[in-house]
Amino acid sequence: MSTSAYKRIVLKLSGEALQGKSSHGIDNLVLVSIASQIKEIKDLSVDVAVVLGGGNIFRGQENTASRGLDMDRSVADYMGMLATVINGLALQNCLEKMGVPTRVMTAIEMQRIAEPYIRRRAVRHLEKGRVVIFVAGTGNPFFTTDTAAALRAVEVNADAILKATQVDGVYSADPKKDKNATRFVSLKYIDVLKKGLKVMDATAISLCMDNKLPIVVFNLHKEGNIKRAVMGEKIGTVVK
């Protein structure tokens, strides 16, 4: 049997990835597809942690600004964190119906529905073959779920972050707006920062750079791409 390129990964999923073609909420077909792909890499004996965004439910200040409201940034960020908890519980339910043991760990304590995040406990869950879903970001406002993914990946000694997106890698410009945009096969962390490329936010990129943690950016919507990324196939863009 082929061996995977990574033994422990953090899969970063945006909330928007879960909504499919809908304007908001969770698309059950997309959820089942993602859960099936996670199960597929678990069957390769890869340790899997997941960090979820909440943009399909609440987009922070974007939601309030577009409605002429002046919501405090901290309040908007906390609302976004709670949205990630909803997504995490949905993914957990879907995975466990497929027979995949799962734990949801939250940076904001809510003991009736999820475990509080404790690094040693998270590592132990991974060692026992459970998928760990990290929700509520870092638990602090002003930090994105990209930063949460980088932080958790470093804390649990992951080999890589797999960032699933709507496009097949990192481009020189928005490929939906610029037909001349070119895709990068590989990038250095410093180039991402200098060029202002929209891979992850600057805090997340800096954290990965300091800890030499590679980021694989790929298209989530192509079935089987999560496994391809784990196997080290040349898909998307690698930042290292």
Domain boundaries, position 62:
8-239
Q: Is residue 61 part of a domain?
A: yes
In this structure, what CATH number is given to the domain that contains residue 232? Answer: 3.40.1160.10
- In this prediction, residue 65 carries a pLDDT of 56
Residue 37 covered by a domain = yes
Please tell me the predicted confidence (pLDDT) of residue 9.
Answer: 98
Residue 44 belongs to a domain: yes
What is the full per-residue pLDDT of the chain (240 aa) written as tens digits? 468 899 999 999 999 989 888 888 999 999 999 999 999 999 999 999 999 999 999 876 565 555 556 789 999 999 999 999 999 999 999 999 999 999 999 999 999 999 999 999 999 999 999 999 999 999 999 999 999 999 999 999 999 999 998 888 898 887 778 888 888 999 999 999 998 888 899 999 999 999 999 999 999 988 899 999 999 999 999 999
Give how many domains the chain has, as a whole number.
1
Three-state SS letters, the chain:
CCCCCCCEEEEEECHHHHHCCCCCCCCHHHHHHHHHHHHHHHCCCCEEEEEECCCCCCCCHHHHHCCCCCCCHHHHHHHHHHHHHHHHHHHHHHHHHCCCCEEEEECCCCCCCCEECCHHHHHHHHHCCCEEEEECCCCCCCCCHHHHHHHHHHHCCCCEEEEEECCCCEECCCCCCCCCCCEECEECHHHHHHHCCCCCCHHHHHHHHHCCCCEEEEECCCCCHHHHHHCCCCCCEEEC
Q: Please check whether residue 1 lies inside any domain of the structure.
A: no
Q: Is residue 2 part of a domain?
A: no
Asked if residue 112 belongs to a domain, the reply is yes
Give domain status of residue 77, yes or no: yes
